[in-house]
Chain A
């Protein structure tokens, strides 16, 4: 029904929706923490996929000399017509060795590399197809067997909290009785405050939401860090005899999706259902901007001045951006060179097209680049 007062821009959201649905989403999630805390199982439960099907965990003697590696796995998930390209970044070997000094540095470097890549792409000419490989969220797993954060946890979180959204999570939470869970969460919260670690803050809900929703939201926030249990199996619960996702023990069955048993539902809701977009935005607006500012500021210092003189943003030297160069791997360099070539060829093509058009219609204004 269209009346005179109706302009029609209220249909904007649905246009955006359609566009983004067509484009698809991508989301990069990092999981970190000691091995054996149920990280892979949780990811499988969270996204209902078997990303870690053929995993081979090496034996202890092999892990003695293993260094931390960063592994990336991608999977396309589709639900309700929406496609999500989920990239998982795993850090096997973290916290494994006898001497874990500085074992978080490769992870920090990785995250900064993604920022640097994005900065280059953003400052480049062809910005249509920027691949966003920045890490949007890091789920950090805390051991339920310790008494709060361990020195290694603190060191890792301190190194990462200004660079990525951190959501602390207590893994294998079925090791704890309810009172112990409460005490552990409180201890972790106190420690985080004491060490001044900024974890990801779930945003306040809008003021026009009803009281019930606000109360639920506050309750959910109280439960951070989430104590989760993951399971890749569906078991028949003896009591209710309906199939649930859970773990079957001789003394009972833990149901993964039961809010009285663990906080899995909360984590899934807050991470996937409500705050996926917010995580991306915070990554872009806050963390990435912080990195960019730091980067460019360091350019303003005298040491980097000679590079600015070379920064002619001409078409030929499109990639000569005044950035402090982080050492890149050889393959990365090759990829960049190839990209450059592609871009140059594209430019040439377009130039030729323009010339052709000019020659065809000399009178018309050519549609230049």
Chain B
């Protein structure tokens, strides 16, 4: 088993760290250069920067791009810095960028995302052992003599993303008739979810839960997104719904397995196709009372496997007071039952994230939404909505429902984070479990389990 830790990423995420108590020593000893595993985490950029650190760093600090890290006098060694700052240091980026460059960089370049020390120290109670090889302290007081152009890395990343595009897989789960397909169509403003015309759905309710995945490529502003919507017809519709979440759990794990198999191949693809479920929208029926037992069971089983975003469907049957009461009750029930929906508290990186996510978790979620694919004229504008004899419900009006909040949350602010949490946490958990079960060896044939040379000559494939 200890030998296998060579296969670990240099900074294993906290959950996987828990499963292997011996890895912390390895982590510390292994500076970036010692990583000898075939996994994606090292990149040519990082390696190059590290190699040329003595030259680059003075220039960076001088130009004001590099701020001194918040180092207490006691910790002079870089390994005691928060890991994100360490990464930023190596990359020569300012420490608190307006947007999360390092994280995006990490994922796009295939680095594992590291969580801050604060999170780790909560979960790993034992003190981290001192490294066998002390690392050189960083000298930070140099001046850049002119404009170097390192900040163009953002533009380069953007261009790359636009060229390659990205994948996003969203699953919708809930009883039939709760408006799942309509909502997804409204979210992405296109007919991405199969939906027969209004009520002429002649399809019978399937006896067991089926999984139907349909992919579309949608484009906006030059950015291509391969969107896959995974529908689960038959969930919760039968008289006996015992274990009806099992096909869904099986599907999710199958996607992790597929990715794992690709990852441990010797000759890997440049871009491993990512079919893992990044986000699962769970539709709660607007009874106005509380969650149903089936909702609890589903979320209990699946919140540790996939990011679940609970959503109150067809929320136009509840008045404002009923809505807020219902939401409070749902939140309390989820908390009492220990169900963590996305964004999970334990994965908040820093204070900024925490405050932002806390606000969403405690006030807005679960979002009470209304979906529609029909447009009506309201005050001279054409809006998506539902027309009833007593008024028109506008889908994008925040006074009417919270669809806009959901859309902004899923697409405009947390899309990347959803993918990261899936990759760094849920997938890693699955992977660690699989490796553990397999005696520490990756599954599949053709793997020798030997230590490969520390630095690959050719660029490694990214995780995206």
Contact = CB atoms under 8 A, between A and B. Distances in A.
Interface of A: 34-37, 57, 59-61, 63-64, 96-101, 143-147, 150-152, 155, 172, 174-175, 177-180, 183-184, 187, 247-255, 258, 260-261
A101 B242 CA distance: 10
B143 interface: no
Nearest to B321: A248
Nearest to A63: B293
Contacts of A99: 239-242
A64 B316 contact: no
Nearest to B336: A61
B320 A250 contact: yes
Contacts of B390: 174, 249, 251-255, 261
Contacts of B285: 36, 143, 145
Interface in B282-313: 285-297, 313
Given A146-B176, A248-B319, A249-B316, A183 B290 contact: no
Interface in B183-213: 198-199, 201, 205
Contacts of B198: 179-180, 183
19 contacts: A57-B290, A60-B293, A61-B336, A98-B240, A145-B178, A146-B176, A147-B177, A150-B205, A180-B199, A183-B199, A247-B319, A250-B320, A252-B388, A252-B390, A252-B391, A253-B391, A258-B389, A260-B389, A261-B390
A185 to B, nearest CB: 10
A57 B175 contact: no
A59 B290 contact: yes
Interface stretch (B74-82, B353-361, B393-401, B452-460): B393-401
A172 B317 contact: yes
A178 B388 CA distance: 7
A96 B297 CA distance: 13
Nearest to A34: B287
Given A60-B291, A249-B391, 7 more contacts: A59-B291, A63-B293, A96-B292, A100-B241, A145-B179, A177-B386, A252-B391
A337 to B, nearest CB: 40
A172 B322 CA distance: 13
Given A61-B296, A179-B198, A187-B199, A101 B175 contact: no
Contacts of B297: 64, 98
Nearest to B242: A99
A184 B178 CA distance: 14
Contact of A60 (B178, B288, B333, B393): B333
Q: Is the interface of B mostly helix, strand, loop or mixed?
A: loop
A59 B290 CA distance: 6
Nearest to B296: A60
B237 interface: yes
A150 B205 CA distance: 9
Looking at B198, B199, B386, the one whose CB has the most chain A CB atoms below 10 A away is: B199
B52 interface: no
The 8 closest A-B pairs by CB, nearest first: A36-B287, A252-B391, A251-B391, A183-B199, A252-B390, A60-B291, A146-B177, A175-B317
A184 B201 CA distance: 11
Contact of B288 (A36, A64, A180): A36
Contact of A147 (B201, B294, B393): B201
A61 B337 contact: yes
Contacts of B391: 249, 251-253
Contact of B237 (A57, A151, A254, A260): A151
B392 interface: yes
B388 A174 contact: yes
Contacts of A37: 287
A251 B317 contact: no
Contact of A59 (B199, B319, B333, B393): B333
A251 B391 CA distance: 5
A60 B392 contact: no
Contacts of A63: 292-293
A99 B297 CA distance: 12
Interface in B351-387: 386-387
B253 to A, nearest CB: 22
Contacts of B293: 60-61, 63-64, 96-98
Nearest to A233: B319
Interface residues of B, number: 49
B426 interface: no
Interface of B: 175-179, 198-199, 201, 205, 237-242, 285-297, 313-314, 316-317, 319-320, 329, 333, 336-337, 386-394, 399-400
Nearest to A59: B290
B178 A151 contact: no
Looking at A36, A101, A180, A258, the one whose CB has the most chain B CB atoms below 10 A away is: A36
Contacts of A143: 177, 285
A100 B239 contact: yes
Nearest to B289: A57
A151 B389 contact: no
Contacts of A260: 389
B289 A147 contact: no
A34 B288 CA distance: 12
Contacts of B290: 57, 59-60
A315 to B, nearest CB: 50
Contacts of A57: 289-290
A147 B337 contact: no
Contacts of B201: 147
A99 B294 CA distance: 9
A61 B333 contact: yes
B88 to A, nearest CB: 45
Contact of B239 (A144, A151, A252, A254): A151
Contacts of A35: 287, 289
A66 B141 CA distance: 69
A57 B294 CA distance: 17
A34 to B, nearest CB: 8
A261 B295 CA distance: 32
Contacts of B177: 143, 145-147
Contacts of B399: 250
A36 B318 CA distance: 11
A59 B388 CA distance: 32
B199 A147 contact: yes
Contacts of B316: 174-175, 249
A308 to B, nearest CB: 40
A94 to B, nearest CB: 12
Contacts of A178: 388-389
B89 to A, nearest CB: 48
Contacts of A175: 286, 314, 316-317
Contacts of B389: 178, 258, 260-261
Contacts of A101: 239-240
A145 B292 contact: no
Contacts of B289: 35-36, 57
Contacts of A34: 287
Contacts of A252: 388, 390-391
Contact of A152 (B199, B239, B317, B333): B239
A63 B389 CA distance: 36
A151 B176 CA distance: 12
B24 to A, nearest CB: 38
Contacts of A177: 386-388
